[in-house]
Each structure stands twice: as structure tokens, then as C-alpha cells.
Amino acid sequence: MKLTTKGRYAVMALVDLARFDNVNPVSLRDISLRQGISLDYLEQIFLKLRKKEIVQSIRGTQGGYVLKKKAHEIKLTNIFEAVDEKIKTVQCKKESKRGCNGKPTKCLTHDLWDELENHINSFFKEKSLEDLVKNNNEKRI
Amino acid sequence: MKLTTKGRYAVMALVDLARFDNVNPVSLRDISLRQGISLDYLEQIFLKLRKKEIVQSIRGTQGGYVLKKKAHEIKLTNIFEAVDEKIKTVQCKKESKRGCNGKPTKCLTHDLWDELENHINSFFKEKSLEDLVKNNNEKRI
DNA sequence: ATAAACCCGACTAAAATAGTCAAGTATCAT
DNA sequence: ATGATACTTGACTATTTTAGTCGGGTTTAT
Ligand code: FES
Ligand code: FES
């Protein structure tokens, strides 16, 4: 069970962005350099973040990205959802009555995995970008 | 972020085993049929469970596996550890001062991922095999 | 003896990940 | 105006991981 770079980088990049946000748009080039993430890869990620209206783009020289919502309104859940970093503890569909790989009924441990999924998601639901930035600034005092 | 079949099947198989355990050894063939998991794959999984002393094998006809510990002593953590289903929220080593892919320092969000990892592991630490079996029996009354 | 069961290492197809690459378009500074 | 900067988009790909399979053992009850 591992977190992919897509989710990790998305959050990393947004924390970086959020710290400089209120001044000027932040270019991906800067984020790339500061955080050591490939520029091309960041572009992919920000495309998704923009489509989900988490960030807004400003084109041209001196352009970049700014947050489209307040930092406290952006939860980790929203970020992960935007970049398709999803928690999957099972293979079977949630709605379906059938079990994994088409079995007629759900397995012995199905409820456990649901519970696990909720447990993990609850972590993402309560953390906001603002929390992360604050937390970070405190440590640098 | 997804749970792999190795971890999922290990728990599933052990719950199955635990339910029949006190009578006779349970053969992988039976588990395979009941749970719809490939026999060859189960053998791989049980090899690891045996090496970590979670189950004990009984060879020969009428053989199979039995739990080596009490069901309440076997936590999900132990099972996952045995089959190498590990939670990895980061790529960088825990001990090292350096960050991901050899960067000289840990990233902005490093603490967050540590926290996440702990949050997930706490779930695994508190659930025992006994809990799962009981929970299951209750629902079938 | 033989069948049921565990034991073990090696192999592999398919999927997912973590990017790269190429060819744009918009906007600002000068 | 024009170049440089920065976003936009789609396609492509190497590597790694996953989810097994396969083959050939050994042990033991009957
Ligand atoms: S996890 Fe899919 S049926 Fe149990
Ligand atoms: S997660 Fe590895 S350095 Fe932050």
C-alpha cells in the first residue's frame, strides 16, 4: 500500500504555492526548482488541479498559478481527488452486490476493508492546506 | 493508494482458517475453494505466514495449517508485515536525514506523510484476527 | 503404494507508475 | 512588434510492481 508521487507531489506543490500565493502568481518553474519535481510532470498535475478549480492559471510572462479557493477550504481530499490519487482497499465496486472478480457475494472481510478506507479518508478530510502551511511556518520560527 | 491482493488475501484466508481452526488443520485447497483464491498463490502467502510463526503447517494427507498463536494475539499488523504488505507514504528512508531521491534535506510535507503512515498503522495495530472472526459470526446469526 | 497435502524457487503477462517529449498558445516587458 | 516566459495538451515510454503460474520436489496418513 503506497502513496504515489502524483498525490504526494500535488500536495507538496500546493503547499509551496500557498506560501507565496498572496503576493504573485507562482510559476511551475519555480516550484519545480524549489521542490525538485520535474516541470513536465508538474504540468500534468496542475492541469488536473485547474480543471477541479483548486488553482487558477495566469498565462504569459510573470504568469503562474494562484489558489482559486481559500487555503482553509482546500482539504487533502479535494487535492487527491483532483489528481486521481484514490484509496482503493478492494477491487469490487461499492454499489454492486457482487464480490471481487465477479463472485456472487461479498467476501468475509469486505466490511473490514470498507472500514479501513473510511479510516484513511477521514484523515484526508480533516486536513486543509492552511493547516499544512501553518504547521510548516511554525517549525521555521 | 491501494491495498494489494497479497495483504487482502492473507487476511481473508486467515479469517477462514481461524473459523475452523480448533477442530482440524485446514488445507489450502479448502481455503482456495471457499474464498476463490488461487491455490498456488495461497501457498506463497502461507509460506510467509509460517516463517513469521503466525501459522503452523502439518504435512501429509489430512494435513493443512493451524494458527500458531491465539487469534486475539494476531493483529493485522503482524499479518501484513509477514506478507510484506507495507504502508509506504514516502520514498525516502526513515533514518536518513536526506529527503526523497537523495535530496539533502526532507521536504515540506514530510511530517504529514509520517503522520499519515501512523494513522493508517494504528488501524492495523488494534484489529486482531479474533475481532474479525467474532464480527463475522455475529452478522450470520 | 498412493494420494493428499505442504515446500520452494523460478518465471511471466499485464497493469500501474513516473515520468518524457513535442508542438503548440497566450501574455507581458521592452 | 518581438522575444521570452509560462501555461496547454496529447501522445509516448521505460521501469517497476502486481498477481499470479509452473514445475518439481518432500512428507505422511491410510
Ligand atoms: S473485498 Fe471485494 S468482495 Fe470482499
Ligand atoms: S517525503 Fe521524502 S523528503 Fe519528504
| CATH number assigned to the domain comprising residue A89 | 1.10.10.10
Domain of residue B41, residue span: 5-140
Distance from CA of B100 to the nearest CA of A (A): 9
For residue range A111-125, list pLDDT tens digits in order: 999 999 999 999 999
Beta bridge partners of residue A128, listed in sequence order: A75
- How far, in Å, CA of B18 to CA of B13, rounded? 9
Confidence (pTM): 0.94
The residue type found at A29 is R
Asked whether the beta carbons of residue A36 and residue B109 sit closer than 8 angstroms, the reply is no
For chains A and B, count residue pairs whose Cβ atoms are closer than 8 Å: 92
**Number of structural domains in chain B:** 1
State whether the Cα torsion B74-B80-B82-B87 is positive or negative: negative
The CA distances from residue B89 to A79, A136, B11, B13, B72, in Å, are: 16, 18, 22, 26, 28
For residue range A11-64, list pLDDT tens digits in order: 999 999 999 877 799 999 999 999 999 999 999 999 999 999 999 999 999 999
Among candidate residues A108, A106, A107, the one with its CA nearest the CA of residue B133: A108
- How far, in Å, CA of B15 to CA of B9, rounded? 10
- How far, in Å, CA of B18 to CA of A39, rounded? 51
